[in-house]
Amino acid sequence: MANLKDKITKLETSFFEELKSSSTIEQIEEVRVKFLSRKGLVQDIMAEIKNFSVEEKREWGPKLNKFKTDLEESFEKQKEKIQKQILKQEISKKQNFDVSSTKINVSQGNLHVLTKLTQQIENIFLSMGFKPVYGPEVETDFYNFEALNIAKDHPARDMQDTFWLNTPEMLLRTHTSSVQIRTMEKSNLPLAVVATGRVFRNEATDASHDYMFNQLEGLYIDKNVSMANLFGTIKTFLSALFDGKEISIRVRPSFFPFVEPGAEIDMTCPFCENGCSVCKKTKWIEILGAGLVHPNVLKSVGIDPNKYSGFAFGMGATRLAMLKYGIKDIRLLHSGKIDFLKQF
Ligand SMILES: [Zn+2]
């Protein structure tokens, strides 16, 4: 029995030594496995009881049980102590963290004002049955001029107005009307499309002129299309663009080589009742050029002008953006200035 007593004392000593030197959950778990698990050292001693006599069992049984329970209690106390320490460290870490010292600014980007406006314009026309179409910015003389009934000696071909490329007959498109031709060539009739995109003019820049701006072009070809269809479409579009405001239009005769008759359309100023700086006190704003598609243009893409007619209109999408949002300088639009762009 003295042998067993010795064993218990030694075991107890090494258990408490190892328990006290544990300071992490991992270390104390090792102590548990070594001493208190089913295959641990305490269980080994407990197992010895089976060789004891009945008398000895009666004496040592309760003692060994108490020994085991005491160790388990000490273990739990130490475990709790470690857990509290860890928690305390975590809390103090958080308390020492100064939330005001670092401010992380997550600034979200936004779509360019012209992209937003283009999407709005396309949605309005989609609701009227027009399909958005696109074409290349580098064009040929044929699509940009010839097919649009623009004669070789027309001033629009002047070197001052057009960016010609080094390759003969190639240029940067001066209007989105070229997309009309490309669309008519490959589409079945009737046809209703709206083309938006960048166009280029070789001219001096100032607050209201730029070498690059966005245009918006519409085309509708069917049997018996008249100016009345054009006016109705434009009025509906402008009212929707200016948030449902009732817009009136007035029409002045004008000349564009690719339409006959041709017209300039003005709209009532959506910003005032009796004149303001936008409409220069006139209550009217010049907004677009339009007309019935010239028979020569229809012929150039193989459409019989005796069977079909159509209207076309073109306006500056950039100018619309400037009007709608009160932008004073056209050059801001591709300046890349963040302060300007994030307003929209
Ligand atoms: Zn006005």
3-state SS, one letter per residue, for 21-34: CCCCHHHHHHHHHH
Average the pLDDT over 2-13 and give the result.
86
Tokens of 40: 């641990």
| Same domain as 266, residue 209 | yes
Rounded to an integer, the average pLDDT of 164-179 is 92
The pLDDT, as a whole number, for residue 53 is 86
* 166 shares its domain with 263: yes
Q: Within 10 Å of residue 71's Cβ, how many Cβ atoms?
A: 21
Work out whether the CA dihedral 266, 269, 273, 276 comes out positive or negative. Answer: negative
How far apart are alpha carbons 180 and 190 in whole angstroms? 13
Domain that holds residue 227: 113-341
> Could you tell me the distance, in angstroms and rounded to a whole number, from the CA of residue 266 to the centre of ligand 1?
12
**Structural domain contains residue 104:** no
Q: Express as a percent the part of the chain with pLDDT over 70.
A: 98
Residue 103 resides in a domain: no
Pairing of strands 212-222, 138-140: unpaired
Closest CA to 321 of 245, 208, 199, 176: 208
Is residue 100 one of the residues assigned to a domain? no
Q: Compute, in angstroms, the gap from residue 273 CA to the centroid of ligand 1.
A: 7
270 CA → ligand 1 middle, Å: 7
237 and 302, same domain (yes or no): yes
- How close is the Cα of 285 to the center of ligand 1, in Å? 8
- Taking residues 109-136, report their average pLDDT: 94
Considering its fold, how many domains does the chain have in total? 2
Q: Are residues 58 and 202 in the same domain?
A: no
Task: Outline where DSSP puts E strands in 56-204.
Answer: 131-133, 138-140, 170-172, 191-200
pLDDT tens readout for residues 326-342: 898 998 998 888 889 88
- Ligand 1 center–CA 279 separation, angstroms: 4
- Amino acid 60: pLDDT: 86
Specify whether 220 is located in the same domain as 303: yes
Q: Which of 314, 313, 332 is closest to 322 using CA atoms?
A: 332
Average pLDDT in the chain: 90
If you measure from the C-alpha of residue 267 to the centroid of ligand 1, how many angstroms do you get, rounded to a whole number?
10
138 in any annotated domain: yes
Q: With 90 as the cut, is the pLDDT of residue 204 above it? A: no
Domain boundary among 95, 123, 158: 95
Around ion ligand 1, which residues have CB less than 5 A away?
269, 271-272, 276, 278-279
Same domain membership, residue 321 and residue 177? yes
How many angstroms is it from 271 CA to the middle of ligand 1? 5
| Six-digit token string for 27 | 């270390």
Distance 284 CA to ligand 1 centre (A): 7
102 lies in a domain?
no
End position of a domain, from candidates 95, 123, 155: 95
Q: What's the 269 CA to ligand 1 centre distance in angstroms?
A: 5
State the CATH number of the domain containing residue 126.
3.30.930.10
Residue 266 placed within a domain: yes
Assess if residue 106 is contained within a domain: no
Sequence length of the chain is 344
Q: What is the whole-number distance in angstroms between the Cα of residue 243 and the centre of ligand 1?
A: 16
Helix (H, G, I), strand (E, B) or coil at 295: helix
Give the strand order in the sheet containing 309-316: 131-133, 191-200, 212-222, 309-316, 284-293, 259-268, 249-254
Maximum Cα–Cα distance across the chain: 129
How many angstroms is it from 246 CA to the middle of ligand 1? 14
CA of 233 to the centre of ligand 1 (A): 22
Nearest-angstrom CA–CA distance, 285 and 251:
12
283 lies in the same domain as 195: yes
Both 213 and 261 in a single domain?
A: yes
Give the mean pLDDT of 46-68: 86
87 and 210 in a single domain? The answer is no
Taking 70 as the threshold, does the pLDDT of residue 141 lie above it? yes
Q: What is the pLDDT of residue 4?
A: 82
Per-residue model confidence (pLDDT) at position 56: 86
Strand pairing of 131-133 and 138-140? unpaired
In a domain, 303, yes or no: yes
| Å from CA of 289 to ligand 1 middle | 20
164 with 85, same domain? no
Distance 242 CA to ligand 1 centre (A): 13
* Confidence band, pLDDT 50/70/90 cuts, at residue 5: confident
| Distance, C-alpha 93 to centroid of its chain | 38
pLDDT above 90 covers what percent of the chain? 55
- Specify whether 26 is located in the same domain as 121: no
Q: Average pLDDT, stretch 303-314?
A: 95
State residue 1's pLDDT score. Answer: 63
Tens of pLDDT, residue by residue over 255-303, are 888 899 999 999 999 999 898 988 899 999 999 999 999 999 999 889 9
**Is 228 in the same domain as 319?**
yes
Mean pLDDT across 209-238: 94
Cα of 124 vs centre of ligand 1, distance in Å, is: 23
Alpha carbon of 131 to ligand 1 centroid (Å): 32
Interval between CA 227 and ligand 1 midpoint (Å): 26
Per-residue pLDDT band for 35 (boundaries 50, 70, 90) equals: very high
